[in-house]
């Protein structure tokens, strides 16, 4: 039968590299409370929007990186108060260029 993939082909919507991590700094504040600052970061490499083979080229979307910041105060009697900013750099990741709507190739319409 026909194979839908080729060994070694670049898989669609699968970045070769992704990474994520965070750093958090905690410090004492008045009345036994604890302050904190946390930075989370995420990186995703470029990715193909469809299978790439020796006979079929494809579209790639750029990789992207985002960062989130959280500042807060923890107190045993008052709980936790947090101020946060998601996507500090206002990165607009492109996630679908070159995608064709509709059923996948080779599928049977209902």
What pLDDT, on the 0 to 100 scale, is given for residue 49? Answer: 79
Mean pLDDT, residues 20-36: 95
Give CA–CA dist 35/29, Å, rounded: 6
Q: State yes or no: pLDDT of 104 exceeds 60.
A: no
pLDDT, tens digit, 9 for 90 and up, residues 37-94: 999 999 999 988 777 766 666 678 889 999 999 999 999 888 999 999 999 999 888 7
- Order of all β-strands in the sheet with 18-28: 18-28, 34-44, 64-75, 79-85
Q: State yes or no: pLDDT of 102 exceeds 90.
A: no
Which pLDDT band holds residue 1 (cuts at 50, 70, 90)? very low
Give CA–CA dist 46/14, Å, rounded: 8
């Amino acid at each position: 039968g026909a194979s839908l993939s080729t060994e070694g082909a670049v898989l669609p919507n699968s970045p070769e590299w992704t990474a994520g991590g965070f750093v958090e700094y905690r410090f004492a504040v008045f009345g036994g409370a604890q302050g904190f600052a946390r930075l989370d970061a995420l990186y995703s490499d470029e990715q193909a929007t469809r299978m790439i083979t020796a006979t079929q080229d494809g579209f790639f979307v750029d990789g992207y990186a985002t960062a989130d910041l959280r500042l807060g105060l923890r107190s045993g009697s008052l709980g936790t108060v947090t101020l946060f900013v998601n996507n500090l750099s206002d990165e607009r990741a492109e996630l679908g260029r070159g995608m064709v709507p509709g059923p996948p190739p080779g599928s049977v319409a209902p």
